[in-house]
Amino acid sequence: MAIASNLGFPRIGPKRELKKGVEGYWAGEIKEQELRGLGLSIRKENWLFQQKAGIVQIPSNDFSFYDHLLDTSIMVGAIPVRYRPLAHLSALDQYFAMARGYNDSAKGLAIVAAEMTKWFDTNYHYIVPEFEKDQQFSLGSTKAIDEFLEAKEMGILTTPVLPGPISFLALGKGVGFDKYNLLPSLLCVYAQVLSRLVQAGAQSIQFDEPALVFGIDKKMEAALLQAYTALSGVAKPVRISIATYFEGLGSGLESVLNLPVSCVHLDLVAASEQLEIALTKAPESLSLSLGVVDGRNIWRSDLSTAYQLVKRAVSVLGTDRVAVAPSCSLLHVPVSLDGETDLDPEVGGWLAFAREKVAEVALITRAINEGEDSVREEFAANKRIIDQKKISKKIYNQAVRSVFRRRLVWMFWCMAKRRETTW
C-alpha cells in the first residue's frame, strides 16, 4: 500500500501559542518550565492530529523554539567562541542568546546574535551555522531522541527529521577553508544521534537535503556518497529517506537516486518533470516520496492533478514503493482554517492550511489504495471549488483586464515605433 507521509508540521500552534509563550519568556512573564510545557503540548497536539488524519509517516523533531538549523548547531556543538562567556546561563538562554544576541552591562557583555538569512526563497529565515577551520564537532543535545521518545510514549512511532549533513554544511559559513573537510567529524555526531534513535526504536529517519537543488558538483556528489554510506551503515535496518524540495534536482537527480538510502522525496509541485526521469532511473530497492500537495502556499490543491501524478508513479513502481506527501514541510503555512471565522465564505473555500493539507495528502493516498470510487464525492467537491475559483470575479475583473490589454497593445506599439526609428 502507498503511505501517507508528512515532512513537517507548523510549530507555532493553532492560535500562535508558541510565539506568545516565547515572547512571554523573554519578557520574564513565564518560567522555562512553563515554556517547555507549552512546547510539549503543541508537539502532542500535532502528532495526535496527524495520526487521526491518517498520516502514517509522522515527523518528530520538526518542532523548535526558534529555528531548526540553530537546533542542529546545538546538537553538533557548533557554538561560536564568542558565546563561551555565557556558560553561566541555562541551555535555553544560551540558545536564545545565539538567536537574539546578549547584553549585560554589569558584566561588560555585549555579544551579537548569529547571522539570520532567508530559507531559500521562502519568507522563513534561519540562523546560519558558523564553522571554524579544523572544527571538531561533539554531541551537544539529544532533542531529536527526546522528542521521538515523547511521541513513542503516546503510542505514536514517528519519523525523526534532521537537517542532512550536506545541507547543514552547505548552508553554514566558514572562511578560508573547504567546509566539506569538516564532514568526517560531523558524521561522527550524526552517527551517535542515529545510533541512539535506532536503540530507542525508530524505524525510519528523514534527512532534509534542500541544498541539493542548488546543483550537485563532483565535490558535493562525493560528500553525499560518503555521508549516506556511513549513515546507512549505522542505521540498519532503519529506513533512511532524503528529502529535497523547493526545486528539482536537475542533472543531480540520478546521483541522489543511487545513494544507499531507502527513499528519496521529490518536490513535484516545483518540478513535476523530474517524476518521469525518476521512474526510469530509480533502483528497484528505492521508494519515492511524491510531494504533490503544495507545502508553501495557502491554496487548496487540485486533487485530480495531484492524484494523476501519484497514479503514474504507482503504475511503474507499485503502491509499496510510493509515499504521498506535501512538497515540503508545512512549516510555511498557518495551522488551521478552524479559527478563521471572518473570512469571505467563497475565499475561505479556496484555502488550505496545514491541517487541511494533511487531509488532502490522506485523501489522495486513500484514492490510490482504495480506488477512485472511495473518494468520488470529495474529488468532485474539490473540482467544483477549483473551477469556481478560476472564474470568480474576486480574482478576475474584466474591466481591469481590458485596461491592461489596451496598455499592453500600446506598449508594444511604442516598442515597434522605437525600433523603426533606430533602424
Q: pLDDT digit string (tens) for 296-344? A: 999 999 999 999 999 999 999 999 999 999 999 999 999 999 988 888 8
pLDDT band at 394 (very low <50, low <70, confident <90, very high): confident
286, 217, 297: which is closest to 249 by C-alpha? Answer: 217
pLDDT band at 420 (very low <50, low <70, confident <90, very high): low
Q: What is the mean pLDDT of residues 181-206?
A: 97
The residue type found at 221 is: E
User: Cis peptide before 237, with omega less than 30 degrees from 0?
Assistant: yes
Q: Which H/E stretch holds residue 207?
A: strand 204-208
Q: Which long-range contacts (CB under 8 A, 24 or more apart) does 392-396 make?
A: 392/346, 394/344, 394/346, 394/347
Q: What is the mean pLDDT of residues 40-69?
A: 98
pLDDT at 422: 45
Give the C-alpha separation, 242 to 257, whole Å.
10
DSSP class of residue 206 equals E
**Cα-trace Rg, the chain:** 24
Give the C-alpha separation, 101 to 104, whole Å.
10
Whole-structure pTM over 0.85, yes or no?
yes
Q: Is 250 exposed, middle or buried (0-12, 13-18, 19+ CB in 10 A)?
A: middle
Give the C-alpha separation, 268 to 274, whole Å.
7
Q: What are the cell numbers at 128?
A: 546560519
pLDDT at 235: 85
Task: Compute φ and ψ for 372, nearest 5 degrees.
Answer: -65, -30
> What is the distance of C-alpha 80 from the center of its chain?
26
pLDDT band at 29 (very low <50, low <70, confident <90, very high): very high
pLDDT band at 421 (very low <50, low <70, confident <90, very high): very low
Parallel, antiparallel or unpaired: strands 125-127 and 116-118: antiparallel
The residue type found at 123 is: N
Q: What is the mean pLDDT of residues 391-402?
A: 76
Q: What is the mean pLDDT of residues 231-241?
A: 93
pLDDT at 336: 96
DSSP string, 304-339: HHHHHHHHHHHHHH-GGGEEEEESS-GGGS-S-STT
260 CB-side CA count, 13 A: 16
Task: Compute φ and ψ for 111, nearest 5 degrees.
Answer: -110, 125
Give the C-alpha separation, 134 to 142, whole Å.
24
Average pLDDT, the chain: 95
Task: Compute φ and ψ for 291, nearest 5 degrees.
Answer: -85, 90
Does pLDDT of 219 surpass 60? yes
pLDDT band at 414 (very low <50, low <70, confident <90, very high): confident
Q: What are the cell numbers at 402?
A: 481590458
Cβ contact 5:361 at 8 Å: yes
At a CB cut-off of 8 Å and minimum separation 6, what does 107 contact?
85
Give the C-alpha separation, 258 to 281, whole Å.
8
Give the C-alpha separation, 208 to 62, whole Å.
11
At a CB cut-off of 8 Å and minimum separation 6, what does 410 contact?
none
Parallel, antiparallel or unpaired: strands 322-326 and 109-111: unpaired
Cβ contact 211:167 at 8 Å: yes
The fraction of the chain above a pLDDT of 90, given in percent, is 88
Task: Compute φ and ψ for 24, nearest 5 degrees.
Answer: -65, -40
Sign of CA dihedral 196, 202, 203, 208: negative
Helix (H, G, I), strand (E, B) or coil at 35: helix
Parallel, antiparallel or unpaired: strands 3-4 and 159-163: unpaired
